Amino acid sequence: MGLQRVPDLDSLELLLQVAATGSLGRAGAVHGLSQPAVSARIRTMERLVGLPLVERGPRGSCLTPQGALLAGWAQDVLRSAAARDAGAASLRADQDGRLRVAASLTVAEHLLPVWLVRLAAQRPDVVVSLSAMNSTGVESVVLEGAADLGFVEGPHVSAALHSQVVAVDRLVVVVHPGHPWARRRQPLPARELAGTRLVQREPHSGTRQALETALADCEPLAAPLLELSTTSAVRSAVVAGAGPGVLSNLAVEDDVAAGHLVEVRVAGAELARRLRAVWPAGQRPSGPARDLLLIGRRARR
């Protein structure tokens, strides 16, 4: 549909002011325009619609019959535009009043609580909902539009998402104090780690993916001893003596400090990893999502 002959909203408002005041000068004063500027805008409208719109006389200006018809139509257009603008403002206010976050378990349990406290101090009226799941699940809900911002810990991110590093942690091998590895004096070779059955997270978790990437040169990897769906479950199984596990240092540092677990050094594998914020490609986080992203970035420094 062609709209080449439809005046812009500002010009329509100016035409209504001319009708209401009977003067180009007074109409211009309402809009902060000089009388010559108003005359130029009126002439532009007349050329656009191909009709005379204003009659100028010694006692002022008035609308032509065609101008009066256009002004009547303009009132409907401007009312619709005002309703649209009010609706858009309401949507923006609603968006700025809530934040839906999806995060992998490591980020959800060990980083986001502090970040969200800081966000609440900046934006006390924002209602935040946080869903914790594995990294693959986070990517899915962000792409579906069910979350405004996601946080993942896997080594790879979908091409349909934009990502930004917000933190760096490292995976650590931990065992029960009674496990033979707890008494090792030399680092554990990466190939021996790869050949050992471990207590592991499920295949689509960021921790599992990061470990498999780190040990890619040592394939084939041994089948998991146990596959568990949460970080806490893996930690508890290792504490109970089920076998070695690999988890974020954020998840086990307290247990290592307390002597409930022993960290085993590893040689020949890079176990550091980047934790990322993700959102749909082609978009930019706004409102509270943008603020939370900035908090995470600052915390990394």
Residues 6+ apart with CB under 8 A from 236: none
Closest CA to 113 of 124, 122, 103: 103
Tokens of 128: 């935040």
Q: What's the pLDDT at 1?
A: 38
Contacts of residue 26, defined as CB under 8 A and 6 or more positions apart, other chains included, come to 17
Predicted confidence at residue 281, as pLDDT, reads 94
Amino acid 95: pLDDT: 56
pLDDT at residue 71, rounded to an integer: 79
Closest by CA to 278, choosing from 167, 109, 152, 169, is 152
Global pTM reads 0.66
Specify the pLDDT at position 78: 75
Residues of the chain with CATH 3.40.190.10: 99-156+281-300
CATH architecture designation of domain 168-273 = 3-Layer(aba) Sandwich (3.40)
Selected from 1.10.10.10, 3.90.226.10, 3.30.70.1050, 1.10.579.10, the CATH number assigned to the domain covering 9-94 reads 1.10.10.10
Q: How long is the chain?
A: 301
- DSSP symbols for 130-168: EEE--HHHHHHHHHHTS-SEEEE-SS---TTEEEEEEEE
Packing angle of the helix pair 9-21, 24-31 (nearest 10 deg): 130
Query: What fold does the segment set 99-156+281-300 form as a domain?
Result: D-Maltodextrin-Binding Protein; domain 2 (3.40.190)
Q: What is the pLDDT along the chain (301 residues), one digit of tens a residue?
A: 345 566 777 888 888 888 888 888 887 888 888 888 888 888 888 888 888 888 887 777 888 888 788 878 878 777 777 777 665 555 555 555 799 999 999 999 999 999 999 999 999 999 999 999 999 999 999 999 999 999 999 888 999 999 999 999 999 999 999 999 999 999 999 999 999 999 999 988 999 999 999 999 998 899 999 999 999 999 999 999 999 999 999 999 999 999 999 999 999 999 999 999 999 999 999 999 999 999 998 886 5
Q: Is 259 left (phi over 0), alpha (psi -120 to 50) or beta?
A: left
> Where in the sequence of the chain do the CATH 3.40.190.290 domains occur?
168-273
pLDDT at 228: 95
